[in-house]
Amino acid sequence: MKKLAVIAFGGNALLRGGQRGTYREQMQNVTETCKSLLPFLKNDYNLVIGHGNGPQVGNVMLQNEAGNQVFNVPDMPIDFCVAETQGLIGFMIEMGLDKVFAAEGMRRNVVTLVTQVIVDKDDPMFQNPTKPVGPYYTKEQAEQYAAETGAVYKEDPKGRGWRKVVASPKPIGIQNIDIVKRLANEGNIVVTVGGGGIPVIEKKGCLCGVEAVIDKDLASAMTAIQIQADEFYILTDVPKVYINFRKENEQALNTITVAEAKKHLADGQFTEGSMAPKIRAAILFVEATGHQAIITEATSLTDPTCGTRIVP
């Protein structure tokens, strides 16, 4: 049996610090990230790819706002915007992999699934939305929009203005996960749960979109568990996980147990919105499967001992 790996692309796979986010920039970045998958491709792994969409969905929301203000084009909800970015990012990953295949004389099918991820309508996060999305506003604008739409706005901690905040509920189900598993085990590379998936809830026997953002690492971990992946990789912008990050006693972690990872989490070693969600996703996968999870940067994947490994 071929090994099956799930690889979660971080935001820097498409857009890096200091870049404007042009199509050319993003295509170059994603092609470089796809090149980092060569060790898996040459060893004939079956692959499933998840990815973030933070910068892209933010830009779509800015475009929505501009279109609404200038041309009276209706705004679209977050679930719609996530679906849109799943398609465009999946297209770029497919193109990036195609360039790698052409350079290496390989041939693999790549398929992108626009994926709905089910969340619980009673998830407590809906009562305490904390995930900032979209553009910054003045306090007066935020108060006006809140009164008009019922959305929640909070002040940015860095003083850049006010932003809409939405819930970040836990994923509880992935639509078409059996198809993802089948396609991957047949040798197709599958791009799925982009941006954490399109958030949907069950209502009156069917699914409907909801204003929320799902953590992409958590959704990727759930995917890896449900398709019985052998390996789970989370790609980020550092080669290893650190404790005492950017302090004089900074220490890179090579291999840690789930118990050690939980202790570091409890000690506040990992920042929310950055490394903490990745650690939680890795723990989820390891506890459910007994396999290791690896957190590293894409360029390190050629090293078989790369990254920080979380083990049972």
Selecting among 197, 216, 240, 307, the annotated active-site residue is 216
Query: Is 68 among the catalytic positions?
Result: no
Closest CA to 236 of 54, 79, 78, 62: 54
The active-site residue, picked from 12, 29, 53, 64, is 12
Phi, psi of 3 (to 5 degrees): -75, 145
Would residue 164 show up in a list of annotated catalytic residues for this protein?
Answer: no
Q: Is there a catalytic annotation at residue 195?
A: no
Return the SS3 of 255.
strand
Task: State the Cα–Cα distance between residues 286 and 294, nearest whole angstrom.
Answer: 10
Catalytic residue among 11, 54, 161, 173: 11
- 64: annotated active-site residue: no
Catalytic one among 35, 197, 278, 307? 278
Q: Buried b / exposed e across 102-141, counting CB within 10 Å, b at 16+?
A: eeeeeeeebebbbbbbbbeeebebbeebebbbbbebeeee
What is residue 86's three-state secondary structure? helix
Which residues make Cβ contacts (< 8 Å) with residue 297, sequence separation at least 6?
235, 236, 237, 238, 239, 307
| Catalytic, out of 46, 58, 90, 131 | 131
Q: Please, which residues bridge with residue 202 across strands?
A: 207
* Annotated catalytic residue 12: yes
Distance CA 63, CA 70 (A): 10
Catalytic residues: 11-12, 131, 216, 278
